[in-house]
Amino acid sequence: MNVIDNNENEYLSILEDSVETGLEVNFRKSWKVLVVDDDPDVHKATDFALRGLMIEDRPIRLIHAYSAAEALKLITDTRDIAVAILDVVMETEDAGLAVIRQIRQLPGSQSLRIILRTGQPGYAPELDTIRHFDINDYKTKSELTRTRLYTSLTTAIRSYNQMKKIDEMRSGLEMVVKASTELNQKRGLELFAAGVVEQLCALLNIEPEGLICAQTGGPEDKGSPRIIAAAGRYSSLIEQPLTNLDNPAIRGAIERCLREMCNLYDEGLSLYFSTKNGGELVAFVETDERIEENNRHLLEVFGSNMAVGFDNVVLYERLRDQAYLDPLLRIPNLNKMLELISESPGINGDRCFAVIDIDDFSSINDTLGHEFGDAVLKEVYRTLRDNLNESVISRINSDTFGLLGPASEVNAVKLLALFDSPFPIQGNELRISATIGLVALEKGKPADPEVLKNANLALKQAKHTKRGSAVYFSDEMGNIMRDRIHLLRGIRSAIESQKFFLVYQPKISLDTGKPSGLEALLRWQNEEGEYISPDYFIPLAEQSGLMVIIGNHVLRSACWQLSRLREQGYTSLVMSINVSQLQLQEADFVQGLERILQDYNVPPDKIELEITESIAADDPRKTRDLLLKIREIGVNIAIDDFGTGFSSLSILKYIPAGRLKIDRSFILEMEQDDSIARIILGLGRNLGMMVTAEGVETGDQYCALRDLGCQEAQGWFFSKPLEEEALYKWLRTVFG
């Protein structure tokens, strides 16, 4: 298209009132304006119309693009374009609108202002275009006289300048906020100071060119000023003394500012900060512009606020010491060690991480006092420090040290050898034992975040094997732990979603051949449809403290089921329920049991609680007192799996139990050797206790037990454990 040919009389008005020019354009401080049009004459006319004009005391520098693609490339490659004067109709009827959409998708292009102009307004209606596009102005080319073009451009540049100021202020504030939360001493101070320089330059609307010098110490102790942050061409001077600055004028201005303790506005800007701890700082920025009186007041307020910020940085440095240093030994604590583990790649060779746990340290504290315990920690640390020159030593717990270093130092043999000799503690020779868990770290790679957990797992394994030993973490340990964690999560999920359920195994009277009771057995089918063995998940539930919740669920469900059975006429059946040691240790266990019996109107004598032999043997006096309370409310007690533990036979006489259950392992042996079964049956008779045999699977076992005088049995010979519906069907079949 040829604008001048088609609209000559209208568009040539843009050339009217042109002025003589001869100004030399300062490209560094000029406004960059992109002209996008496919007609070269339009570029010439625009250049002529704007030549010599100043906006906000800065000249205009035109950049030219003759296609949408060229415009996008220039915007991508050129920094700080303030305004784009964009033609709507170029390669296509809406090429300009397409360019706007693409511009707004470019990072950092939101501040770029756009003036849209067209010689064919029908292709882009004015109201719709302004409504849907982020533009400053939309005019036909005939409307854009020189004066109107200057007016639109001035408005757009002012808008751009304001947006840039906001962006620069936001950038400086973000750096200040980031520094205020940074706990690393060196980087925290540098970031905060750099943010001050950038924000100060943004306030003055100048390019970031400046530095901050810190005058360490108070009035009585003036140290040599050091540069703690710098921008632009001064960046290389960070962490250097001010004397290294080779600009005498700037160096003199900073020294004078420190000496006179006030802001200076000649030879650039020197802003003075005084902190509560007696420190002094000067922020210097280069500027040729005169700073007005009202702006000086603003800078003083800014300086006061930033002085508070520097005080906060100092406070954070102190907090950092508390967060990362052990107060007794002044060595890294757990937090710092975790950082070191994740940051150190070990490029010089294989590394190892170890946790050293001092055995029986709590007993040392209790018997010899905390002062003696502190002396033990100090002497152990001194020994580690003197023998592990290339390793980082930390205290990660009250009696546990963490070590990170080369495998040549941090290894089981060397570490255990350090505890072979007695330690001199307060004039005494004390032998100290330590148990150690180690994790080998892969060369050249950051450590796994789980390294501490893995080391503690190895430590636990070492303690389980032999105190005073050392164990390396292995993949097998990790797999076992992951399986346990997965299972534990599954248990918690099953509790929340009520996925645990009960099955009931009939117990048969060997005198009558009829059912005498049921044993409630816990079952769990996970989300994958797999049945998890109780032998697998119950021990973990007990270790994790979840067995109390599960056990209460079993008690309540079994009593509810017995209540339903009694409603159906099966009133002679006794429900046997297993209870764990953790349940019995609950302070309100007996009261809770009574409430459940009342809730379901179940006779206490129709409930039998089964405890293991080990529970009976653990603190017999306390267990006896509890079981007597249970017997007082009418509930029976049975000792399960008898003969598999290591308790004294006197337990049977001491514990108020009315039934013994012969473990299935002894029933399986009966065809070869029935001596243990005979002994247990004899004990039961002599003590006046009933005896139940578990795991009866054959007719021969049934007949042998009946002939030996066993009163009751259960097992697959009679019935497998049954769910509710199958149980009712079985009972109807047996009772007729």
Given 3.20.20.70, 3.50.50.60, 3.30.70.270, 1.10.1200.120, which CATH number is that of 334-473?
Answer: 3.30.70.270
Token pair, residue 643, equals 């003969």
Is the pLDDT at 122 greater than 60? The verdict is no
What's the whole-number average pLDDT of the chain?
A: 82
The CATH homologous superfamily for domain 487-735 is EAL domain (3.20.20.450)
| pLDDT score recorded for residue 321 | 74
| pLDDT single digits (tens) 138-188 | 777 766 677 888 888 888 888 888 887 777 666 655 544 554 444 334 456
Q: How far is CA 174 from the centre of its chain?
A: 23
DSSP 376-422: HHHHHHHHHHHH-TTSEEEEEETTEEEEEEETTTSSHHHHHHTTSSP
Distances (CA, A) of 551 to 589, 618, 629: 11, 19, 19
Contact predicate 114/134, CB 8 Å: yes
Give yes or no for residue 427 having a pLDDT over 50. yes
Which SS3 state, helix, strand or coil, does residue 433 take? coil
The DSSP line for 2-21 is -HHHHSHHHHGGGGTT----
pLDDT of 444 higher than 70: no
Strands across the sheet containing 54-55: 54-55, 58-65, 31-36, 81-87, 113-118, 137-140
Once rounded to an integer, what is the mean pLDDT over residues 467-482? Answer: 86
Q: For 688-729, what is each residue's pLDDT tens digit?
A: 999 999 999 999 999 999 999 999 999 999 999 999 999 999
Q: Is the pLDDT of residue 538 over 80?
A: yes
What percent of the chain has a predicted confidence (pLDDT) above 70?
85
Q: What is the pLDDT of residue 387?
A: 95
Q: Rounded to an integer, what distance in angstroms lies between the CA atom of residue 231 and that of residue 207?
A: 9
Contact between residue 673 and residue 633 where contact means Cβ atoms under 8 Å apart: no
Burial class (CB in 10 A: 0-12, 13-18, 19+), 471: buried
Fold of 3-167: Rossmann fold (3.40.50)
Residues 248-304 have pLDDT tens digits of 989 999 999 988 988 998 878 888 888 776 778 888 988 877 776 666 776 777 777
- How far apart are alpha carbons 381 and 665 in whole angstroms? 53
Percent of all residues in the chain with a pLDDT value above 90, rounded to a whole number: 30
Domain parsing of the chain, residue ranges? 3-167, 181-324, 334-473, 487-735
DSSP string for 207-224? ---EEEEEE-S-TT----
Residue 506 has pLDDT above 90, yes or no: yes
Pick the closest to residue 657 from 680, 627, 612, 626 (CA basis). 627
Between CA 639 and CA 329 the distance in angstroms is 53
Same fold? 3-167, 487-735: no
Buried b (16+ CB within 10 A) or exposed e, 219-239: eeeeeebbbbbbbeebeebbe
Rounded Cα gap, residues 232 and 217, in angstroms: 28
What's the pLDDT tens digit per position in 51-96? 888 888 889 999 998 988 888 888 888 888 888 888 877 777 777 7
Distance CA 490, CA 499 (A): 10
Sign of CA dihedral 404, 407, 410, 411: positive
Please state which of the ranges 38-47, 397-406, 454-463 shows the lowest mean pLDDT.
38-47
**Beta carbons within 8 Å of 569's beta carbon, 6+ residues apart:** none
How many C-beta neighbours within 10 Å does residue 262 have?
Answer: 12
pLDDT given for residue 345 in this prediction: 58
Helices (H), 467-546: 475-496, 534-543
Q: What is the CATH number of domain 181-324?
A: 3.30.450.40
For residues 64 and 540, the model is more confident at 64
pLDDT 10s digits, 548-588? 999 999 999 999 999 999 999 999 999 999 998 889 888 89
Give the DSSP letter string of 655-721.
Answer: S---EEEE-HHHHHTTTT--HHHHHHHHHHHHHT-EEEE----SHHHHHHHHHTT--EE-STTT---
CA distance 607 to 558: 9
d(CA 527, CA 499): 9
pLDDT, residue 712, reads 96
